[in-house]
């Protein structure tokens, strides 16, 4: 555990400002790092950065290892000569206020493929050598499997792989060899695009580190059935040869959902993982550690025990708890990688067994003040040093929206009033300043990292919420506008941070 108390911000890459329809990894991301330095913030937390599919959720990526092509910076491709400025004009007509995925994806895919087609002629010798090194570093085959998967998915109308033609579902060697030969150029293009993504990511990572900013990633515990990982490595999961799971993941009914949550992800075959020394998990954490300094593992409790739901169930009501891998998986990862840069998402109903597992491996947990302040007897002093304290997360409403109650709030009016009274009692603040007061409360705790979503720093309402769990449409779209991150705003945030003793050093570096 670190001893230096730090302050951070949660902002997904898609939410960055910019001219090309979505937040990107280039100058707009570096500008945000510069703004973080002005705000005295040293931790940037973002959501999973894998390629998304139906619903645009970063928590259902098409690959555990690949990057989301939509985040590639167009201006960088123009500067490299892979695109011409006028070719990207159509992207500049898209809204800067929200991400219009339906309009964005086909335009950007066309541009990325155009850039990839020019790579061999335009890229200089050093970049071609770097690309060759990228392919060598990724010789574990995930990249090739991902490229073939994306081509087959496109040829099958973007249907999930269990609905493809049988020879591709069952990975017939002759059929796959034919695809590799006839689609060689397309496979190469996908690999080039992935290289361009990671080239930009590593540049951002290096820029952040030089500025004293740590990158804090996010790893879903489950993988999607419709992913290249599941298609190419089905032995990892409890699915049959046709891609049908026997049981699926979720959580049982609780205070927040009378039917529980039916996620639908296939469950892991933990016996297989144990027999291989948890090698896939080692590779997964290693890959994540190359792009981020810290990683939050979503649904940490699933490593101790997980809710197994029959695959044909309509809700999560019927299921049973099954044992997870427990200590063994963390021992294997530590033996292979050394110290584990993990934060446990340990929210919800957490048993003593889960807490013991977390504590035995000295893994920090999470505290969310929007939840905690409503608990009888809660005090800010209850937040332990070995934890990350939040005002709210990407799954919560903004603090302003939570305080006043948004139109889709499932809480009763009496519950909202009780929450209002509780937060004002804890912070000693007022309704007009509740967002800033809750941030100051989080910063005042012993937590070694305290984080607020950018929406809370800005004092925005429910209109700026990025995700509402259980609602299929309209999520992951919010973007901040460049004028909102003004010098005055950065100065005001810096005052809060430095007052708490969590600021950067005078030169902006650790």
So which residues are the catalytic ones?
298, 345, 395
What is the CB neighbour count within 10 angstroms for residue 203?
16
H helices present in 156-295, as ranges: 166-169, 173-182, 184-210, 228-232, 270-275, 279-289
HSE (side-chain half, CA atoms, 13 Å) at 133: 9
* C-alpha dihedral (22, 28, 30, 31), degrees to nearest 10: -140
Are 475 and 462 in contact, with CB atoms under 8 Å apart?
Answer: no
At 124, list the tokens.
Answer: 């200089």
Report how far residue 348's alpha carbon sits from residue 256's, in angstroms, rounded to the nearest whole number. Answer: 9
Report how far residue 301's alpha carbon sits from residue 358's, in angstroms, rounded to the nearest whole number. Answer: 9
HSE (side-chain half, CA atoms, 13 Å) at 77: 31
Strand pairing partners for 8?
Answer: 43, 451
Tell me how far the alpha carbon of residue 77 is from its chain's centroid. Answer: 24
For 355, the enclosing helix (H) or strand (E) is: helix 352-360
List the 6-10 sheet strands across, edge first: 342-344, 294-297, 214-219, 43-45, 6-10, 449-453, 387-390, 365-368
DSSP state of 244: -
Burial class (CB in 10 A: 0-12, 13-18, 19+), 194: buried
- Listed in sequence order, the residues at least 6 apart from 146 whose beta carbon sits closer than 8 Å to its beta carbon are 62, 63, 65, 66, 190, 194, 228
Report how far residue 234's alpha carbon sits from residue 240's, in angstroms, rounded to the nearest whole number. Answer: 8
Report how far residue 352's alpha carbon sits from residue 77's, in angstroms, rounded to the nearest whole number. Answer: 51
Report how far residue 382's alpha carbon sits from residue 367's, in angstroms, rounded to the nearest whole number. Answer: 10
Are 73 and 26 in contact, with CB atoms under 8 Å apart?
Answer: yes
Are 317 and 260 in contact, with CB atoms under 8 Å apart?
Answer: yes
Report how far residue 449's alpha carbon sits from residue 285's, in angstroms, rounded to the nearest whole number. Answer: 21
Q: Give me the residue label for tokens 């150029």.
A: 185
């Amino acid at each position: 555990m670190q001893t230096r108390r730090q302050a951070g911000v949660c902002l997904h890459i898609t939410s960055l400002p910019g001219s090309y329809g979505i937040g990107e990894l280039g100058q707009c991301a570096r500008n945000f790092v510069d703004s973080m330095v002005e705000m005295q913030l040293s931790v940037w937390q973002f959501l999973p950065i894998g390629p998304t599919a139906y619903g645009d959720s970063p928590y259902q990526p098409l690959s555990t290892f690949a990057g989301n092509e939509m985040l590639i910076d167009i201006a960088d491709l123009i500067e490299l000569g892979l695109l011409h400025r006028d070719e990207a004009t159509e992207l500049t007509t898209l809204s800067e206020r929200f991400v219009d995925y339906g309009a964005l994806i086909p335009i950007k895919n066309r541009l990325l493929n155009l850039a990839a087609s020019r790579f061999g002629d335009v890229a200089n010798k050093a970049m071609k050598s770097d690309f060759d090194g990228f392919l060598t570093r990724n010789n574990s085959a995930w990249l090739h499997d991902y490229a073939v998967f994306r081509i087959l998915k496109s040829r099958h109308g973007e249907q999930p792989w269990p609905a493809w033609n049988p020879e591709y579902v069952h990975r017939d060697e002759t059929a796959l060899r034919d695809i590799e030969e006839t689609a060689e150029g397309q496979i190469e293009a996908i690999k080039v695009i992935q290289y361009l993504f990671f080239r930009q990511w590593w540049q951002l990572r290096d820029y952040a580190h030089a500025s004293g900013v740590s990158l804090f990633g996010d790893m879903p515990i489950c993988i999607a059935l419709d992913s290249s990982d599941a298609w190419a490595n089905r032995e990892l999961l409890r699915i049959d040869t046709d891609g049908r799971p026997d049981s699926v993941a979720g959580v049982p009914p609780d205070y927040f959902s009378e039917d529980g949550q039916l996620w639908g992800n296939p469950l892991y075959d933990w016996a297989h993982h144990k027999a291989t020394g948890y090698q896939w998990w080692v590779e997964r954490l290693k890959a994540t550690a190359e792009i981020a300094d810290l990683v939050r593992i979503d649904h940490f409790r699933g490593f101790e025990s997980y809710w197994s739901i029959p695959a044909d169930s309509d809700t999560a009501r019927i299921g049973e708890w099954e044992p997870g891998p427990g200590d063994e998986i963390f021992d294997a990862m530590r033996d292979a990688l050394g110290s584990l840069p993990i934060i446990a998402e340990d929210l919800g109903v957490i048993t003593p067994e889960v807490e013991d597992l977390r504590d035995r491996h000295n893994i920090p947990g999470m505290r969310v003040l929007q939840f905690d302040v409503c608990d009888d007897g809660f005090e800010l002093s209850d937040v332990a040093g070995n934890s990350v304290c939040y005002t709210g997360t990407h799954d919560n409403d903004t603090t302003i929206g939570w305080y006043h109650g948004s139109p889709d709030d499932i809480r009763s009016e009496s519950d909202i009033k009780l929450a209002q009274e509780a937060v004002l009692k804890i912070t000693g603040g007022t309704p007009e300043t509740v967002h800033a007061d809750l941030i100051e409360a989080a910063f005042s705790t012993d937590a070694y990292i305290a984080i607020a979503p950018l929406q809370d720093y800005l004092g925005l309402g429910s209109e700026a919420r990025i995700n509402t769990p259980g609602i299929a449409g309209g999520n992951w779209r919010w973007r901040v506008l460049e004028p909102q991150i003004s010098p005055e705003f950065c100065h005001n945030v810096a005052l809060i941070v430095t007052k708490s003793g969590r600021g950067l050093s005078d030169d902006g570096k650790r």
